[in-house]
Amino acid sequence: MPELEVKKVGMLGVGSMGAMLALLMAERGYEVYFWDPSEKNTSTLTTHSTTLHLTPRIHHSSTPSSLCASLSPPRVLLLSTPHGSAADRCIASLSPHLSPGDLVLDCGNSHWGATERRQHALAAQGVHLLGCGVSGGYQSARAGPSITPGGSAAALDAVMPFLRTLAARDGSGKPCVVRVGPGGSGHYVKMVHNGIEQGMMGAVAEAWLLLKRGLGLGHDEVGGVLRDWNDDGSSPLRDCFLVAIGADVERATDESSGGGGRHVVSQVRDTVVQDVDEEEGTGVWTCEEAVARHVPAASIVSAHLFRCASADLARRQRNRQSGNGGVSGQSLSVRSEEREQFIEALRTTTYFSFLACFVQGLDLIRQKDKDRGWGLDYREILQLWRGGCIIKASHITDLLERMFSRADHDPDDILSNPEVGHELARCFPAAKQVVLRAVEADLFVPVISQTLEYYKYETSTELPTQFMEAQLDYFGQHMFERKDDPVRGPTKGEHHFEWKPAKGSSDE
Ligand SMILES: NC(=O)C1=CN([C@@H]2O[C@H](COP(=O)(O)OP(=O)(O)OC[C@H]3O[C@@H](n4cnc5c(N)ncnc54)[C@H](OP(=O)(O)O)[C@@H]3O)[C@@H](O)[C@H]2O)C=CC1
Ligand SMILES: O=C(CO)[C@H](O)[C@H](O)COP(=O)(O)O
């Protein structure tokens, strides 16, 4: 399929993300025809386009059918709807009006498997669907997001020039969009991006708690620490989106009459609900995939479970009562002269956890890639994460880039590469110190502590699973390997010991 010269685009779903994408496209010179069942979101976009003088290029369509009639084939249609049945309904409303060669770009967080199902269904009418994850929240959707497209080579060829005009740019001006690969690989990589995001958000929230409640710093002081971590050019957390916005979050005050100049974050309840109300699915699916592909993504899974546990405050209140007042956490036992050193250890620990989340996420993508034969290019995937996305962390992507550029790197076990292995080893003592102090003070560190354990068990050759394996053989005759057997990777052992012969009442 030749490169498409795109002039007009359709936009289905103009909520938080879709509206900003519509404005971005209009600003970049495209004629945008949009439809959304929500009158409120329709009217909000209309107001924005008037204010920004983009009305001549943003047109409301009264139905999906009239939207398709406004575009001539081959059409380019972007979807930004909730995942699941809403995305299915949206595609069903379009499909009778599509022609062979049309391109549908699902920019929502759809499940990669649903994307492949829809790709097959639409292929029967000659229509191409790309699973095209978009990251960076609504601010990036407005300014230029990271875009993660996957699907047929022909559709990718056709649409890449258009996507490059919309994407975020990295520090050297290169667009943060690449051809990810076939089938649902685009949505798979976006899903893992969100899994890494959950891990990183957990780690930085724990660092926030240790600074705030652990050391007793005020919001502005914590904001200052995070700002330094992000801005210092030699910091391993330099140019990190979640650290930078953390500084903003800590400093924001509500100057409205009801706000009284208070820090906004101090008024936010500790409940993250978007996983348990199933508004978003990417965190759940990343964990499911990690378990199904046998990838020990401990930091990511722990971060996800922590969020799930946070969702129901009423439940936690009941548990607190039944647990004699529960556990709240106190100040850390850090003397004032040790404070700077502890803050430095905390920076190292946050970086340690962030890097581990990338390692776990890349191991997961690689495992899926091998299972499905997608043939992904990991340096290209890193390019997606260099700008416009939530997991942007420049020191980490630079380090991983060096690793993937080395011809003899091991793509199947990221931790085994010295660029990563040496770095985690260097940070381990700081992470251990932080976890010890946090546990002592009953402060919450589910992600940092799981990262520490992950690092320990992933680098040890003396695990207590030796005892577990013996028990499995005792009751289940599951067999075991002996220490003098050759090391062969995960293969079933050939030895059984008759720990206790099975006996019934008729045995002597
Ligand atoms: N918010 C974020 O930061 C990010 C979100 N995403 C993903 O982008 C997608 C959109 O997210 P977001 O903008 O936050 O969601 P919103 O809920 O704000 O907007 C979704 C819009 O889609 C509309 N819609 C529902 N069904 C249809 C349909 N059949 N046809 C056309 N439009 C429909 C909704 O209308 P109604 O309200 O009437 O149902 C709503 O206006 C999701 O998949 C999300 O996971 C990706 C990256 C970042
Ligand atoms: O996709 C996103 C960013 O890239 C959205 O912000 C999404 O809401 C993140 O959700 P979750 O943390 O539940 O995956």
Segment 13-19 mean pLDDT: 98
Ligand closest to CA 10: 1
Q: For residue 493, is pLDDT > 80?
A: yes
Q: Which atom of ligand 2 is nearest to the CA of 283?
A: 14
The pLDDT mean for the chain works out to: 97
Contact 102, 74 (CB under 8 A): yes
Q: What type of residue is 414?
A: I
Residue 190 among the catalytic residues: yes
Residues with a CB atom less than 6 Å from ligand 2: 109, 135, 137, 194, 197-198, 274-275, 280, 282-283, 390
> If you measure from the C-alpha of residue 38 to the centroid of ligand 1, how many angstroms do you get, rounded to a whole number?
10
Point out the ligand nearest to the CA of residue 139: 1
Residue 44 contacts residue 23 (beta carbons within 8 Å): no
Write down the pLDDT at residue 257.
84
**Ligand 2 atom having least distance to the Cα of 280:** 13
Q: What DSSP line would sit under 68-115, residue for residue?
A: HHHSPSSPEEEE---TTHHHHHHHHHHGGG--TT-EEEE-S---HHHH
Residues with CB under 6 A from ligand 1: 12-18, 36-38, 41, 80-83, 86, 89-90, 93, 108-109, 134-135, 137-138, 280
What distance in Å separates the CA atoms of residue 104 and residue 426, rounded to the nearest whole number? 47
Residues 384-434: pLDDT tens digits?
Answer: 999 999 999 999 999 999 999 999 999 999 999 999 999 999 999 999 999
169 has a pLDDT exceeding 90: yes
**Catalytic residue status for 401:** no
CATH architecture under which domain 8-183 falls: 3-Layer(aba) Sandwich (3.40)
In whole angstroms, what is the distance from residue 11 CA to residue 25 CA? 10
pLDDT range class, residue 435, cuts 50, 70, 90: very high
Average pLDDT score over residue span 451-480: 98
Distance from Cα 36 to the centre of ligand 1, integer Å: 9
Which of 20-29, 305-314, 322-331, 441-450 comes out lowest in average pLDDT? 322-331
Ligand 2 centroid–CA 384 distance in Å is 16
Which SS3 state, helix, strand or coil, does residue 393 take?
Answer: strand
Whether residue 508 is predicted with pLDDT greater than 80 in this model: the reply is no
pLDDT band of residue 1 (cuts 50, 70, 90) is confident
Residue span(s) of the chain under CATH 1.10.1040.10 come to 193-458
For domain 193-458, say whether CATH 2.60.40.2550 is its number: no
Nearest residue (by CA) to ligand 2, atom 8, is 280
- Which residue's CA is the closest to the ligand 2 atom numbered 7? 280
Q: Whose CA is nearest to atom 14 of ligand 2?
A: 194
pLDDT at 97: 98
Q: What residue type is 467 in one-letter code?
A: F
280 CA to centre of ligand 2 in angstroms: 7
Q: Residue whose CA is closest, atom 7 of ligand 1?
A: 108
How is residue 307 written in tokens?
């969020």
Is pLDDT of 48 > 80? yes
Tens-place pLDDT, residues 76-114: 999 999 999 999 999 999 999 999 999 999 999 999 999
pTM of the model: 0.97
Complete edge-to-edge strand list for the sheet that includes strand 103-106: 58-60, 31-35, 8-12, 76-79, 103-106, 128-135, 146-150
How do residues 110-126 score in pLDDT, each as one tens digit?
999 999 999 999 999 99
| Separation in Å, CA 30 to CA 76, 104, 111, 190, 307 | 11, 16, 29, 25, 40
- Which one of 197, 206, 250, 289 is the catalytic residue? 197
For residue 195, the ligand 2 atom closest to its alpha carbon is 14
Confidence of residue 2 (pLDDT cuts 50, 70, 90): confident
Which residues does residue 59 pair with via DSSP β-bridges, in sequence order?
A: 33
